[in-house]
Structure 1
Amino acid sequence: MSGSDTMAAPNERPLRHFTPPQGWMNDPNGLVYHDGEYHLFYQYHPDSLVWGPMHWGHAVSRDLCDWQHLPVALTPDDDGMCFSGSAVVDRYDVSGLFDGGEGLVAFYTAHRFLDADQEHYEQEQHLAWSRDGGRSWHKYAGNPIIAAPGFRDFRDPKVIYHEQSRRWVMALACGQHIRFYVSANLLDWQLASEFGHGQGCHTDGPWECPDLFELPVEGSEASASRWVLIVGVGIDHEGPQDTMGSFTQYFIGHFDGECFHNDYPDEPLLLVDQGRDFYAVQSFSNVPDRRLAIAWLNNWQYAGHAPQAGWRGAMTLPRALTLAATDRGVRLHQRFATELEHSVSPLEVALLEAPLKEGQHLLATPEADLVRGELTLELAAGSRLALSLQQGTQQQLILRAGDDATEVTYRREGYSGVARFDQHFPGERRAGELNGRQVHIQWWVDHGSVEMLIQGGQRQLSITLASFLSPHRYPISLAVQSGSVQLRDFRLDAG
């Protein structure tokens, strides 16, 4: 390895990506909007930099940009650790926990070991409630609300309200399928159906962290909508090393309040994000005007060995999820939350008028800790280019244009000196294809990450990557390796 490939510890926290105050963090959970506040709970081990006894950390924000840390919401007890889950607003006190008022109800998985072997455990579903806007939490005296079923992996309850059936629905990850339970009062639950056998992608690891919601389909009839089922696909931490690690898939279909019906059963895999570091994505409940989501910006292949400086783990920027009608069917698309734009100011950049030929072309060298960028490229057939987004040659987006489509790959380097991390973090991977040869790219670079949304025709790719290089030290450049490229527009904002 060369000296330029070596990464430093992340001594500077990201400006807009949430990080824990100290210790270890993984999945976001319990995301809920209530009384003008976005509540972000997360899997948290405050006393260590590696995964351990799971707590629910807690933070709130009014603008999705600045987050206020609050005391830990849930802590392990004799019932076990507090694994991932969800939270809802019990507006009409159907649970009877709020004396006729409203309150917050959180659902989580209690995980406990049965003996000294950590592979011998059981999981059951528990409930906690809060009357004071999430500042204090009380575990329900009647826990568990769903007892351990007799098999091992039974976790991550996502609870939603289903308007058509006027019941609450819980999606639970059960081994390598999803179970749906229904309830009228949030306390008593009945099994309704299962989904997942022979559907989507299955690995040696369990399915995890489901999410379920309905969205209108943009570009179709005004009344058209579909349901989205999101599922994380975990890995055996010591298992095969030639995979992409942990990743998040989704299904598009119909949900009648009991059963999910997949519209595309022949699709082996639809990815929410084509990068390496987008896992356990969860959407906020109770947001009135859009579907907002956040994911853990990491990968289980190397998360426990990533560089650290008193904390380890970060969340992605919040994104609005939408559905679009494409040439391949209905697909999930994403937009960065508009609130983020208030945290940056425009920079003056020059637009190159002539087509770019083979060679290196410097676009800008912003001296900033936080950068938002946007550009549109038109590639001649047979062209190949590498776009470096403030990461120098160590992190590049590579575009190859054919006659009718543009192939997208990404490459990143960086070594920490830890074998487990260095084996999996660097590399080049294919992300997919876009329609045509005109490509629109939006990105955010913050300390520790690069997030990109790439649009070409009807298709969109999302690429989220952890990065442990200092973002303000590297220029934004285009290296045209063959053919020619026309830069149609270019915008840069900094914070």
Structure 2
Amino acid sequence: MTAATATTAETFRPALHYAARNTWLNDPNGLIFHDGVYHLYYQNNPLDNVWGNMSWGHATSPDLLTWTEHPVAITCDDEEDIFSGSIVFDRDNTSGFGTDSAPPLVAIYTSAFKPGSAHHGVQAQSLAYSLDGGYTWTKHAANPVLNRGSAEFRDPKVLRYDGGAGSYWVMVAVEATDFQVVLYKSKDLKDWELLSTFGPANATGGVWECPDLFPLPVDGDPNDLQWVLTVNLNPGGPNSGSAGQYFVGDFDGTTFSSATTVTDGLQDPDRLGEYLWLDWGRDYYAAVSFSEAPDNRRLMIGWMNNWQYANEIPTSPWRSTMSMVREVSLQSMDGSWRLVQQVAGDPAPLAEQTPSFTLAAVEISDGHHVLDGAAGSVQRIELALTPGTAEECGLIVRGDGAQGTRIGIRPADDRIVVDRRESGQTDFHGSFASVDTAPIRTTDGTYELTVYVDRCSVEVFAQGGQVTLTELIFPAATSTAVSLYAVGGTATINNLSVTQYA
């Protein structure tokens, strides 16, 4: 299908995902829950719908589903672009930007200094503070506060460490082209001392960006905590282009030690599939977590795009969206650990309380089987299937005849696959049409999928969230059919339900 397909750019505006009204966005920044509100800041070009003029856009939500866009929070100027970073609630006013009775929010961001600046060519870490709950910001007069003289030092994620080594702020940032995470500590967010470095390790096929570091209980046991270090890279993902990886291990207040490193140093291309990936799809990048999330939940959101084609996706005047917010947990598996991800917000208020379509105990044969009554453009599909003799079997969503986005299982290969070669508009960039796969393990011969379909995306959560794949798609507005398919044999649909959201 070509760009001549009868769609308009607004056809693709998502219902379940955040997109700016009429500008460009990329990496999520400064994620924080404060005074009962989730704040999403993000890399934003306030003047256009392609990358440039990097500033921090801003949106808020009471429920992680409905978002309100606000004026640009921290703007670029003649001296600097405002690259990625994080926000902390400085409740003890360690920075001195607020008062004991009115502590500030403090943003820690990368200043990418421009020609004419005294720091031209350098990326260094700077501060801004807010005294009104995150809606207006003042840049610190003594910026930058941490300067290594590097052109590739960026993306600070700051957390509060309280442990055996003491109590202080920890900054996790990257030396991007060295494939290295650098850790610093500070008492006041202004003066920083180097703690340690981590890397290179595992995937190093592209620059390292947007790290995060946090503890999680294993299998929900608060007495068994492991630390998770995430780091995104571009390119070098498991299915090409941008992606995010993670490591599990220990952080003692000084050093992160990984227990899941497969290759120290530069990656072994033949072992790419052995690394731990946040998402195996093409369109989940720069994922980081919220600070101060209630009930100690670890909530993450990623940029739903890929630098291979990000500036050319066929939407206007807006371009790019965020993923749905995910709650992540840590599960023991085969003597190691894996992140498990589930959608964090409950879309039920957007839909009927009961599925609009259900199916149970049906065998399908070789071919393509349209489900009458299941069509939709914004929906959740839950499916459990048992392959029989089929070489591949699964779903086709946002379909039109035999075309659409295929989400299937290849049991002989222990793979899940998302095929978007016939998903709608694909010819805007040569690398967009793709067949993306991930390893998947059966549970007693059965595979379970939860698929969130939106107007320009699918997010697939397999086997209870053990495996995820996130993919952009650009189908015609009239392509709404849901189908089952099998290739080369039979499969049994144990149960299927479809819930419509719009």
Query: Considering the TM-score relative to the shorter chain, is it more than 0.5?
Result: yes
Residues 390-399 or 34-43, more deviating: 390-399
Instruction: Determine the structure 2 residue equivalent to 1:300.
Output: 307
Match of 2:343 in 1: 336
Alpha carbons of 1:369 and 1:381: their partners in 2 closer, same or farther (altered >3 Å)? closer
Would you say 1:153 and 2:152 are equivalent positions? yes
Partners of 1:6 and 1:180 in 2: CA distance:
49
**Paired letter, 1:361:** H
Give the 3 Å change call, closer, same or farther, for CA 161–121 of structure 1 in structure 2: same
- Asked whether the equivalents of residues 162 and 257 of structure 1 are also in contact (C-alpha less than 8 Å), the reply is yes
| Deviation of 1:432 (Å) | 1.6
Amino acid at match of 2:152: D
Question: Compared with structure 1, are the counterparts of its residues 373 and 252 closer, same or farther at alpha carbon in structure 2 (3 Å cutoff)?
Answer: same
Residue 481 of structure 1 aligns with which residue?
487
Question: Counterparts of 1:41-56 in structure 2 under 5 Å?
Answer: 41-56=41-56
Shift of 1:482: 2.8
> Residue 259 of structure 1 aligns to which amino acid in structure 2?
T
2:453 paired with 1:445: yes
> Contact 1:380–1:401 at 8 Å: present in 2 too?
no
Compared with structure 1, are the counterparts of its residues 452 and 189 closer, same or farther at alpha carbon in structure 2 (3 Å cutoff)? same
1:158-199 per-residue CA deviation (whole Å, 9 max, x = no partner) reads: 0011121311110011121100001112221111000012x1
Paired residues of 1:8 and 1:307 also in contact (CA < 8 A): no
Structure 2: 5+ residue stretches without partners? 264-271
Aligned to 2:408: 398
Moved more, 73-82 or 343-352: 343-352
Give the letter for the 2:496 counterpart.
F
1:431 aligns with 2:441: no
Distance 1:367 1:232 in 2: 35
Shift of 1:343: 1.9
Q: Distance in 1 between matches of 2:210 and 2:491?
A: 41
1:201 alignment partner, one of 200, 203, 206: 203
Amino acid at match of 2:67: W
Distance in 1 between the 2:367 and 2:439 partners?
A: 25
Given that residues 375 and 440 in structure 1 are in contact (C-alpha distance below 8 angstroms), is that contact kept between their aligned partners in structure 2? yes
Number of the residue aligned with 2:367: 359
When residues 92 and 242 of structure 1 are mapped into structure 2, their CA distance, relative to the original with a 3 A threshold, is closer
Residue 334 of structure 2 corresponds to 327
SS at match of 1:141: coil
Contact kept in structure 2, 1:416 and 1:422, CA below 8 Å:
no
When the two structures are superposed, what TM-score results if normalisation uses the length of structure 1? Answer: 0.90
- What do the CA deviations read for 1:381-436 (whole angstroms, capped 9, x no partner)? 6642142122453311121223xx732122102599896x4311002122222234
Give how far 1:14 is off: 1.1
Distance 1:208 1:306, change over 3 A: same
1:132 aligned partner: 132
- 1:166 and 2:167 matched: yes
Q: Partner amino acid for 1:310?
A: P
Q: CA deviation at 1:479?
A: 0.9
Q: Do the aligned partners of 1:5 and 1:413 also contact (CA within 8 Å) in 2?
A: no
Distance 1:242 1:397, change over 3 A: closer
Supply the RMSD in Å over aligned alpha carbons.
Answer: 2.5
Deviates more, 1:473-482 or 1:78-87: 473-482
Displacement after TM superposition at 1:483 (Å): 3.2
SS in 1 for 2:93: coil
Higher alpha-carbon deviation: 363-372 or 391-400? 363-372
Contact 1:366–1:472 (8 Å) recurs in 2: no
Structure 1 residues 84, 454: CA separation in 2 closer, same or farther (over 3 Å shift)? same
Q: Which runs of 5+ in 1 are unaligned?
A: none
1:407 aligns with 2:387: no
Residues 42 and 361 from structure 1, CA distance in 2 versus in 1: closer, same or farther, beyond 3 angstroms?
same
SS of alignment partner, residue 166 of structure 1: strand
Which amino acid letter does the alignment assign opposite residue 247 of structure 1?
A
**1: CA distance, partners of 2:224 / 2:116:** 51
Give the TM-score normalised by the residue count of structure 2: 0.89
Match of 2:183 among 180, 185, 195: 180
How far off its partner does 1:242 sit?
A: 11
SS of 2:474 mapped into structure 1: coil
Cα distance between partner residues in 1 of 2:238 and 2:430: 10
Paired amino acid for 1:355: E
Deviation at 1:137, TM superposition (A): 0.5
1:361 CA displacement: 2.4
What SS is found at the alignment partner of 2:15? coil
* Residues 366, 390 of structure 2: 8 Å contact kept: no
SS of match in other structure, 1:275: coil
User: Structure 1's 414 and 375: CA in aligned 2 closer, same or farther, altered over 3 A?
Assistant: closer
Instruction: Report the 3-state secondary structure (helix = DSSP H, G, I; strand = E; otherwise coil) of the residue aligned with 1:422.
Output: coil
Distance in 2 between residues matched to 1:410 and 1:418, nearest whole Å:
14
Alignment of 1:98-117 (within 5 A): 98-100=98-100, 101-114=102-115
Q: Aligned equivalents of 2:149 and 2:79: distance in 1?
A: 16
1:386, 1:399 within 8 Å by CA — same for their partners in 2?
yes
Classify 1:246/1:350 alpha carbon distance in 2 versus 1 (closer, same or farther; 3 Å).
closer
The residue type equivalent to 1:397 in the other structure is: I
- Judged with a 3 Å threshold, the aligned counterparts in structure 2 of structure 1 residues 128 and 325 are, in CA distance, closer, same or farther, namely same
> What does residue 68 of structure 2 align with?
68
Aligned partner of 1:276: which letter?
Answer: R
CA distance in 2, matches of 1:242, 1:99: 48
